[in-house]
Amino acid sequence: MADDKDVLRDVWFGRIPTCFTLYQDEITEREAEPFYLLLPRMSYLTLVTDKVKKHFLKVMKAEDVEEMWFDFEGTSLKWHYPIGLLFDLHASNTALPWNITVHFKNFPERDLLHCPSNSVIEAHFMSSIKEADALKHKSQVINDMQKKDHKQLWMGLQNEHDSAFRNLRKH
């Protein structure tokens, strides 16, 4: 049986090969080529898709760009769910790469929350961590951490470093 540390490391460093394609009804100045990324399972779409946005903005007119959002086979992908969870919920039985459609118009107000900044993602992430810690450890892990440890955890997730993983294992 695998050691807990090995399982945690595999989950933390897991990646999903993904192909981003622009929605067919988006207005472009020229054809948009797909964009490929290895997405970290333990991150959020809105943290790792700046390159996707830059790629597709090259073929779009500025006036045709609104808030970017994603779907998989017609299902809007919630930014506040970790990438690995989104994949497991919607695409775990499909062939890789995971094909995600990129939209810049017609934001699905009824299905998705707006994500105005990375600070909103950080607040959501820390809230989720605190909730999980309360359920599993009666808040002992997060309460024992200093503010700088919380920041290091967030920066590790944002920058895809293993420092966040090491920090959690210390406590």
Torsion of CA 61, 66, 71, 75, to 10 degrees: -130
Structural domain ending residue among the three candidates 103, 129, 161: 103
- What is the structure's pLDDT at 18? 96
Q: What is the pLDDT of residues 109-163, one digit of tens each?
A: 999 888 777 777 777 777 777 777 788 777 777 777 777 877 777 777 667 644 4
> What is the model's pLDDT at position 115?
78
The mean of the pLDDT values for the chain is 82
Tell me whether residue 162 is in a domain. Answer: yes
88-101 per-position pLDDT tens digit: 999 999 999 999 99
Q: Which of 79, 103, 127 is the endpoint of a domain?
A: 103
Nearest CA-CA partner of 26 in 50, 47, 55, 49? 55
- Give the C-alpha separation, 110 to 141, whole Å: 36
Q: Are residues 53 and 133 in the same domain?
A: no
pLDDT at 157 (0 to 100): 67
Does 83 map to a domain? yes
Residue 47 falls within a domain, yes or no?
Answer: yes
Question: Residue 41: inside a domain, yes or no?
Answer: yes
45 plus 70 within the same structural domain: yes
Domain final position from 103, 130, 155: 103
- Shared domain check, 55 and 93: yes
Give the integer Cα–Cα distance in Å for 153 and 135: 19
Instruction: Round to whole Å and give the CA distance between 168 and 158.
Output: 15
88 inside domain? yes
DSSP three-state, residue 164: helix
In this structure, is residue 35 part of a structural domain? yes
- Evaluate if residue 168 carries a pLDDT over 50: no
Residues 6+ apart with CB under 8 A from 78: 86, 111, 112, 113
Specify whether 19 is located in the same domain as 64. yes
| Total tally of structural domains belonging to the chain | 2
ω into 97 cis (within 30 of 0): yes
Range of the structural domain that residue 122 is part of? 118-169
Tell whether 1 and 82 lie within a shared domain: yes
Residues 97 and 154 in one domain: no
Q: Which amino acid is at 144?
A: D
For residue 76, give the 3-state DSSP assignment: strand
User: The tokens of 63 are what?
Assistant: 């006036």
Same domain, 74 and 30: yes
| 67 and 36, same domain (yes or no) | yes
- CATH number of the domain residue 91 falls in: 3.10.20.620
CA distances from 89 to 5, 37, 51, 78, 112 (A): 25, 19, 24, 11, 16
